[in-house]
Structure 1
Amino acid sequence: MENFKMIAKTFFGFEEILAQELKALGAQEVEVGTRAVSFKGDKGFMYKANLSLRTALKILKPIYYFRAINDQMLYKGIQGIDWSSYINSNQTFVIDTTIHSDNFKHSQFVSQKAKDAIVDQFREKTGVRPSVDKDFPDLRINIHIDRDQVSVALDTSGASLHHRGYRTATNLAPINEVLAAGMLLLSGWEGKSDFLDPMCGSGTILAEAAMIACNIPANINRKEFAFEKWNDWDNDLFDQIIDALLKRTREFRYTIKGYDKAPSAVSKAKDNIRNANLEDYVTIEQQNFFETKKETEGPLQMVFNPPYGERLDIDLERFYREMGDTMKQNYPGTHAWFITANLEALKFVGLKPSRKIKLFNGSLEARLVKYEMYEGSKRAKFQVNQED
């Protein structure tokens, strides 16, 4: 099978870890862009990337590039593709368009013009035309216009890859699965210690942490990918790749635990962990984090998504102060990471972060911050050394 170029889309701040994921999977010619990483691989690798990548939102397969400064050039360019290679006249398609150009103002207009070009090509050749289906198309086409450069790609994934397939129940403002996985990978989580999410909501961070720890493919529970409707779909190859990926899962010897003080969140989180077949690795309890202490010996990794005030009506100053106090007093030997879009509130934690990484949670600019709690204080360690 021959290699071709693909583009994996991601969130701002995750480009480097997505590139690392791709290299570890065996991608060729990996190149980092903005919110995207390009690479090369064959059809089997396309299946593997969709199944495995934790920080990709979509994987596109570019098929054609051309220049256009007006709608006539756009129409002609789209007609330059032999669409019968990808769909037949009784199938359906949809077009998603993104634009960074002064020549084209409306993505809807571009999609409409491109649709006309495709439909007209079929009508002229066969007298029958494929129709548009926005919900369950046989082919998802992606058009990207940057100034006068038009790139046409096939969407290999379909619905965004954050739809993992395990989360049926969500709590208020759940965290996106790709964002959760990216935070975990940025935090260095590899499953080599105990893990705690002290405000677990519907359990997304816990599920992603368990899948990373056990090397379970991120999208193994997903119902379908767009490429399964393509003319060259190879079911046997797909099954082989799933088998090969599942042989690479590993045992996990530590604990992954989640707390939430809301009974509704706890029951939803348990449902989602069960859907993901991860009950053997994850335990969830109804607890108020501020009333808990570290239960395990040795290093503990904590990753969580505290409320922002954007979503919940709380006294942020008091909440963040209690967060800092609880970590400092009750969680020695812990590396704690959390994301917040409320940069003011960080002042109240009362601890100095050892790292700050800029990310976006939806449209909100956020920071992923790290706090290190030592066994005993740094000062105590220093005094012991002085007395030796």
Structure 2
Amino acid sequence: MSNSFKMVAKTLFGFEEVLARELRNLGAERVEIGNRMVSFYGDTGFMYKANLCLRTAIKILKPIASGRVRNEKDLYTFIQSIRWQEYLAIEDTFAIHATVNSTIFTHSHFISLKTKDAIVDQFRERTGERPSIDLDHPDLSLDVHIQGDLCTLSLDSSGGSLHHRGYRTATNIAPINEVLAAGLLLLSGWDGQCDFLDPMCGSGTMAIEAAMIACNIPANLNRKEFAFEKWLDWDMDLFEKIEESCLNKTRDFRYSIVGMDKEYSAVRKANVNVENANLTDFIKIKEGDFFESVKEIEGPLHMVFNPPYDERLEINISEFYSKIGDTLKRNYSNTNAWFITGNLESLKYVGLRPSRKIKVFNGKLEGKLVKYEMYAGSKRTKFQK
């Protein structure tokens, strides 16, 4: 890959391996896994493609400079050493996001202010004018990361978090993050090779992400904009070629994807989001109570869902999770059932032994993604306690 440069894809805890696999499949070079991030190399076209296609990335950063900073003066000098006219015009706006893990610097807001001062002072000294700050819709988003005494300054090529796919306009209480949903699906091994059910679908995010994986539709196809579209070197023709190439790699899906919820309001909102994602041909949303449902197909079924727990809704944990186990045992043979919970105590009420447990985080709340293998016939109760 010619003209390659280093980039960093940020992600949620537990999805680093999944993201690294996504990057390798896209064609990234020199992929290295870190903590909640994966570094890689690619050219400008690949940066566009990474933003468009990656399902488990939150942001794609392009580092442009790094240096040792041991005090406030070092930081100011380091920021001033960058030729900012290569990235910003006088009439442009910019914003700075800083993260600090250091005994030397302890306040991220202070780092943002000193970075801003160094940038605007450089413009004033050279032109007598300065670009302005815009925290909501900047022309350039900057990321400053200080680890110990090492300061890395990056351009944020994504802008808003990549979990903002662009299709979800209607939500319920505590909707699942789109990146989290996609990550759970990929961790579960979902590849679109059988029927799929989310029996507690809420606003439909899991079903939509499942359909996009099954059809190999770029994750952020419906997103309104990326930050790199405002960069001075923005190449619209290249981006359109990348987008067309990705769309040419979509695939047919011959199974069913169903989202079910007992609340009519959730079903209505899910249908709006499915329509926004242009996936009505692939997803059926229906009203129904999982605890009164039965498996409607004969073949294997892949199930991934996000049941409520006491952090979000007032429910009787023991009764609710016992019903999950009973419903799976009675009515869902030949099913791989996965769900996430932030209430680890709830799992003991399911009455089944999970074949896998994967540590994940829903926001700051630690949880588990668990798998229950429901066999047909005599193997049906194999994983019962």
The answer as to whether partners of 2:374 and 2:380 remain within 8 angstroms in 1 is: no
What's the counterpart of residue 329 of structure 1? 330
What's the counterpart of residue 365 of structure 1? 366
What's the counterpart of residue 275 of structure 2? 274
1:144-163 alignment to 2 at 5 Å? 144-163=145-164
> 2 CA distance for matches of 1:239 and 1:155?
20
The answer as to whether partners of 2:375 and 2:381 remain within 8 angstroms in 1 is: no
What's the counterpart of residue 120 of structure 2? 119
Report the Cα offset of residue 66 of structure 1: 0.5
Report the Cα offset of residue 377 of structure 1: 3.0
> 1 CA distance for matches of 2:360 and 2:346?
16
What's the counterpart of residue 180 of structure 2? 179
Structure 2 residue matching 1:377: 3-state secondary structure: helix
> 2 CA distance for matches of 1:151 and 1:8?
14
Runs of at least 5 residues in structure 2 that lack an aligned partner in the other structure? none
Provide the TM-score with structure 2 as the length reference.
Answer: 0.98
> 2 CA distance for matches of 1:216 and 1:379?
35
Deviant stretches of 4+, over 3 Å: none
> 1 CA distance for matches of 2:58 and 2:118?
28
Partner AA of 2:334 in structure 1: G
Partner AA of 1:104 in structure 2: F
What's the counterpart of residue 138 of structure 1? 139
> 1 CA distance for matches of 2:188 and 2:111?
41
> 1 CA distance for matches of 2:73 and 2:91?
27
Partner AA of 2:159 in structure 1: G
Provide the TM-score with structure 1 as the length reference.
Answer: 0.97
Partner AA of 2:195 in structure 1: D
> 1 CA distance for matches of 2:316 and 2:255?
35
2:286 corresponds to 1:285? yes
What's the counterpart of residue 57 of structure 2? 56
Partner AA of 2:60 in structure 1: I
2:187 corresponds to 1:212? no
1:288-299 alignment to 2 at 5 Å? 288-299=289-300
Structure 1 residue matching 2:123: 3-state secondary structure: helix
2:349 corresponds to 1:344? no
Report the Cα offset of residue 328 of structure 1: 0.8
What's the counterpart of residue 20 of structure 1? 21
Q: Identity of aligned pairs, percent?
A: 65
Report the Cα offset of residue 89 of structure 1: 1.2
Partner AA of 2:184 in structure 1: M
The answer as to whether partners of 2:354 and 2:371 remain within 8 angstroms in 1 is: yes
Cα deviation, 1:69-103, whole Å, max 9, x if unaligned, reads 21111111100101000011111000000000011
Give the count of matched residue pairs: 381
Partner AA of 1:91 in structure 2: D
Cα deviation, 1:357-380, whole Å, max 9, x if unaligned, reads 000000100000000000113289
1:179-328 alignment to 2 at 5 Å? 179-328=180-329
Runs of at least 5 residues in structure 1 that lack an aligned partner in the other structure? 382-388
Structure 1 residue matching 2:372: 3-state secondary structure: strand
What's the counterpart of residue 89 of structure 1? 90
Partner AA of 1:224 in structure 2: E
